[in-house]
Amino acid sequence: MLTTWRNWLNREPSGYARRTPLILINGLAEQPESWYANLPFLRRHFDVFLPNLLVYDGLCLQRRIDDGQPIDVEFLVDQLYQFLDQFVQTPPFHLVASSLGCKIAAEFAVRFPEMVARLVLLCPSGLSDEERLPIVDGVRRSDMKSLVHSVFHDPSCADPRLLTFYERQFKNRRWRTGLLRTVRGTTEHRIVDCFSRLQQPTLVVVGLEDKICDPQQSLDAMPLLAHGRLLALPQCGHAPQIEKAEEINQAIHEFLTHPVRELAVAEAV
């Protein structure tokens, strides 16, 4: 039965059809490439877009820094709106976000409810009283080992290519400046109040071994959601889209394609 289910999930769609746009929004320490374990599967079922909002050494963020303006969640929500308005243009969209990206997705869904169909929030940042940001320590001390062990429950899940990317970027002064200014502008932003205003069906994924965002505080916030669903993953850290890719791919597909009434209220894998 399990093999049959997986074969059905991974099948190629039959014929041509316009599919619902799915927007992947990465977190503070990630780049769009961090969805490498999810993209092949998701592209079989959705029109997938990856707005690269956090190009730390890019012209947009650097101009804003030069002008003395903050890199905050409000600015990033505006950037997401411009991307969707200009390059996707077919709402409503599904938003799938990770960590800091969840702040952007949740605020966007509250501000533009007619543009968002459903949300999937992976290890959402902004629900915990305090959050540890290992990438900042990694940048300041060039400590990649600490970064990996903070993000993953199983450090062997870290792709060596991603680590090579960060080792290179840590040496880039403009990149470091962009990252640290983004940390300064977004860290204190909380989305607990935002949860109570979300009307879209929302799946929250919690890694029970998350060392960055307190998983218990995420669980405590679930009753605030009008149409919330929970997936709690044991032996999983702050990057479930990598560490538990198969479970995440299946959960996203099921949540975004099934009628809401057929979805379980809570689930632990």
Which of 80-89, 90-99, 156-165, 185-194 is predicted least confidently? 156-165
DSSP 94-116: EEEEETHHHHHHHHHHHH-GGGE
Q: Which of 106, 118, 113, 109 is nearest to 189 (CA)?
A: 106
Average pLDDT over the chain, rounded to an integer: 86
How does residue 8 score in pLDDT terms, banded at 50, 70 and 90? very low
Residues 6+ apart with CB under 8 A from 152: 158, 237, 238, 239, 242, 243
Give the residue, 137 or 167, on which the prediction is more confident. 167
Q: Do the Cβ atoms of 75 and 47 come closer than 8 Å?
A: no
Which of 18-22, 92-96, 202-206, 251-255 is predicted least confidently? 18-22
CA–CA distance, 185 with 248 (Å, rounded to integer):
29
CA–CA distance, 95 with 1 (Å, rounded to integer):
30
Q: What is the pLDDT of residue 2?
A: 41
The answer to pTM > 0.75 is yes
Q: What is the pLDDT of residue 84?
A: 97
DSSP 66-90: HTT----HHHHHHHHHHHIIIII--
Residue 266 has pLDDT above 90, yes or no: no
Q: Which of 251, 253, 246 is nearest to 266 (CA)?
A: 251
Q: What is the pLDDT of residue 161?
A: 76
Taking the CB of residue 59, how many other CB atoms lie within 10 A of it?
8
Q: What is the pLDDT of residue 88?
A: 96
Over residues 35-91, the pLDDT tens digits come to 999 999 999 999 999 999 999 999 999 999 999 999 999 999 999 999 999 999 999
Instruction: Mark out the alpha helices in the chain (DSSP H runs).
Output: 2-9, 39-42, 59-66, 73-83, 100-111, 134-141, 144-151, 160-169, 173-186, 192-195, 215-221, 240-243, 245-257
Q: Do the Cβ atoms of 251 and 205 come closer than 8 Å?
A: yes
Q: Which of 33, 77, 23 is nearest to 256 (CA)?
A: 23
Looking at residues 113-131, what average pLDDT do you find? 92
Interhelix angle 2-9/245-257, rounded to 10 degrees, is 70
Residue 140 has pLDDT above 60, yes or no: no
Looking at residues 214-240, what average pLDDT do you find? 95
Q: What is the pLDDT of residue 42?
A: 97
Interhelix angle 160-169/144-151, rounded to 10 degrees, is 130
| HSE value, Cβ hemisphere, 13 Å, CA-based, for 72 | 8
Over residues 158-175, the pLDDT tens digits come to 887 777 777 788 788 999
